[in-house]
Every structure is written in structure tokens, then in C-alpha cells.
Structure 1
């Protein structure tokens, strides 16, 4: 005997199934659309049901529309994985940080060196140039270039002098 049929709340059209299945197989769990206009009804239905979520993405990641803050992609949610009968969590794609009075979304792929640098810099004490270079296996000039790159992406990287005289770099977390 076959498994029980999905309940009406999890019944998916062929187009919805294909879209969710393809996203579930990607590391970033993002939907890749060949024709966003033609897929808009399918996307709208999946968002309405909570199976897809709109997330800010980097320019080189798949997006389905643009808004004032940049490209917006579609990521499968935990409910989307559950509808496919998969026990998975969507990966963290974006870290939203506060820059002055406005919130800036800076896309950081999970598991990358840049994500590791951001993690070190968001600690309460931050990280010194020497700590960052040692953790990443980089030379000091490469580490400074990474800090500059984060600033250009909208991160508010602040530095302060520690009692030892060494400079510490830190990123402030977004206000809740």
C-alpha cells in the first residue's frame, strides 16, 4: 500500500512541486526562476502558504525582483521542506545589521570565510587584526582588505584601542 496522500493544505501543483524541489537541492535553498513574470502566480501562492520567503540576496545570487535595498530572492522555508517531507532547515543567508539610523542588509553566505569573519567581529570584544589573520590563515594586508570589503557592503565596522594598545575591530548587532 502507498503512503497516505498529502492533506489539502500541503497539496502542491506540479509547478509548485518542481519549484520547491529544485530549491531544496541547492545549498542556499534559493529558487532559480528562468522567467519571473511567468512564475509570479506560483510564487505568490507559495509565499501566501508560507512555503517560500522573500529574502535579501547578493547581486550574484538568484533573485526574482528588486526593491529599494537591492535584489530580493526566494528561499524555501522550513514549512516548504516539510511539504516535501524533508526534515531540513533553510540555511542562514543574510545578516541584517544597523548602520546609523537605518538597517542595512548585507548578504553573507553561510559557511564562507566572509561569514566566519563576520562571526568573529560580532563578538562582544570583537577581534584584533592578529586574531582575524590567524583564524583565517591570511596575511595582515589580506585581513585589512576583508575589513574594507565589509565596510563597502554596508557593515558598520568600528575599531577601538584595547588596554594592551592593540586595535580591536567589531560589528554592532542589529537592534531587536
Structure 2
């Protein structure tokens, strides 16, 4: 089994949350030679496929092929399987895009600590660093890093916090209070 980089995992996870498993747009900051290298490797592994773009639906272009035609990138069933997402589940979830797509994609991988963290932050009462540490066995600095790095920067989620007299600092996903995805 091929070990995926963080970038490859992010591309496939985002693709699984988009209609038609579109892999574009790529993560912010991934451009030029680095983008070509990442996509080239994923194509070689069979995780990404280059297909004709439907310009009527304004699908993003990977490259132009001339005469007003171009190609886009989609995640293949092998790509979805590589990140632990059943392709049938991904197709079913494509119809449920009212919630933030990245949250749905992360929730599709039950049992991961990131999915557990997201679920805890989606609860109405939110979660403290100590509660998350107890549930995940992560160190406090790792939790803060996951919130600021994985959730805020990579997935683009808004995490709020407030200090409560009885519990201390409580973290929640903004806009997802009480909307737990299971």
C-alpha cells in the first residue's frame, strides 16, 4: 500500500467532497512545478485521472488542449480507496453538499482522531483542550496544532473559542453548533 503525503491526502479528501470528485482547485500554494509533480505522481499511481472538462458547467481547467477545450482532474475509485473512502459513499455524499464539504469528507473516515476532533467541536457544548486530550490521547500542544493547522489552515474551518468560568476555554466549530455529522 502506498503511503500518501499530506498534500496528496488533502487533494483526495477535498476531491471526495466535491461533485464528480473534482480534484481542482488544488490546495492554496500548490502551483507550478510542485503541482505538476504532485499530480504526475498521483496520476501514475492511478489516484487522479485527467478527463475532458465540461466548460458549460464551469469546471476548473487543469490544462488547455486547444480550440476552446481543456482537461480537469478527478479522483479515481483507487484514489478514494487510498484515503479510506468507499466510492459508493462518496457518490451518495455528493448530493448532501449543504454542510461544509471538508467536514463531510473528514467525517467519512470514522475512527480517525481528526474525525473525532471535528465531532467533538461540532457538539453544542464544544470541547476543552483537556477533554480532547482525554478522548484522543494527544498532547495539548498537538491539539492546538491540529486546530490551527489541520482544521483552520488546511480545511478552512472556522474554530471559535470562549472562556467559561466553569470549564475554562471551550472550542467549537463556527456554524456547526449542534449539527453533528455521523
Q: TM-score, normalised by structure 1?
A: 0.45
Structure holding more strand per residue: 1
Q: Which has the higher contact order (CA 8 A, sep 6+)?
A: 2
Structure with greater Cα Rg: 1
Structure holding more helix per residue: 2
Q: TM-score, normalised by structure 2?
A: 0.44
